[in-house]
Chains A and B, each alone.
Chain A
């Protein structure tokens, strides 16, 4: 009972104000800075652009938050995104319908999620090495399917979908928002969500309480992979082509977003909204550096520096709280 109360407080406004992670402060700082440097930054086109990029990153970062809350990790997320895009593209080229192609990629990603989940949940193998191994499998399959070349020339319906609008909101942003709402409800308003949080804190206790903890643990990986598999549709809609290695490195940005958002790798201390803040911080940083015409390979370095800065801020604040308390 007391766990329930504490969980609800963590999702509430009090948590929001008392513990805006360092990323939140850096985000505000960056917004001000980039606006001063180039007022074009706050133009409507650019802000929508930021929103589109953030929504794709969130499709990886939101499920990653759940996985990290179970003291896990998914290094294969980027490779799965690339592979899923290739599968959708190849299926469409083979004359499949859009829904059949989505079903195919959903089946493959669920299978890989189950493989990750079984090895991690049931065999208790370390998540980072399991997902590193499956990353190799996925990358290999994507390369073999495409021979390493980009796949294009499939139906423009995917691109039309990506560019469409729901009411006046671009569809990708609406989808990311809907995903956030769904995962928020799952995590903070259902019994299953409580179990997910509890796995990170003490999986053995959950098992001793008579709950099939391994199954819940497995479900987190399957759900995460399914979301990533479907989000590949957004990825290939953006450029109307699928590239086998396009997702490589996106897992880094997703993990960085989650960590920036204040989710810790220990004891399942996570915060779903933190992933939104983190993803926004990364996208804003990239966008601002683009405006300053800084090379995209250096932007990755800047994300690393942002991450370290945010962690330092959080650490300093924790020490400050401890001293004043």
Chain B
């Protein structure tokens, strides 16, 4: 049940062609992001502003939460608070029961994923339809999303064709994205019009006005929410921003960082329930206040879930989102997950090269790679190091603290690499690093030996 990232990644990389394709697809998205941000001269200033706005909001989160609640209540919205996933799910179910709802439509929300809302509602006899195309595809397949913005990015069009053939009766072998999307459109429209309650996530919650802002390209959230009698918006406490005008900063950053679009197709501002309708907001903690109390990791709460760090991460791109076994995969997920369960997710902060690319692209300037590095220390101190890291790290720290041993070790290594048979140096059990790589040819001399030689030559 509890699989480490290397174990799960191994499954994914078995299909070399798919790994390469996955890598290239995400790199393509990363390149679109680059082109899109160059179109804005003040992009770097906006990142700094976004970061400062979020820092400020976190430092006064108590005030903003109360201000938001008050404003929302004044707008006729019912506000609920959930300490954890169970409470969140119970609140949602309670609202559904009150309305006798049996069918609901849901638009993409990583929070409801995090709370495992779907299986919970299903258990209680409620039919949940995910309406974002990518989400619907993986819902049919009974899989979790593998990316925060592109939930079905791990699937090829043939996979989607097969899934739709099974569930929507499209022709066998049909793989044209246009045709498949049209089939989903027709299918989902029947769900939208019969959905009694619509659940949506929240991209931004504006303290000043009590509004929740939802950004989508497909319009599924809007169609669901505006047709249903009841709208339930579920948000983590960290979604707050102080003012309506702050959206000027965040709407310019979000889509450009995510997919390279200038803005999402729909940026909807829900402030008051529609005429004759009901609106609920569920504010969820579920570990977030704990993270807020960890100075080294609280910056992760600034995340606006653009996915840019995933698209750029060389490890995520090649190992796939499912190998993280956590709702939010990739670099930011590797920071958020040990906060929830350090033991279960101890391998995730190591699923990174610490190259810093994630930090470079993050629109709210989260120091992602530094936090990953810090988690590694915490995990080490808590004796949770994955076995393969443990002895090698210990050995390394001894060797590095003793120059004599270091020099001798290097010599032995250079000699042995030359002399030992390939089958030994590349034995999987002994050297996992060499699984998919060749070892470099060992140099005859170390730098230190060369330097000493140069010096003595010079003197002579």
Decide if A and B are genuine partners.
Answer: no
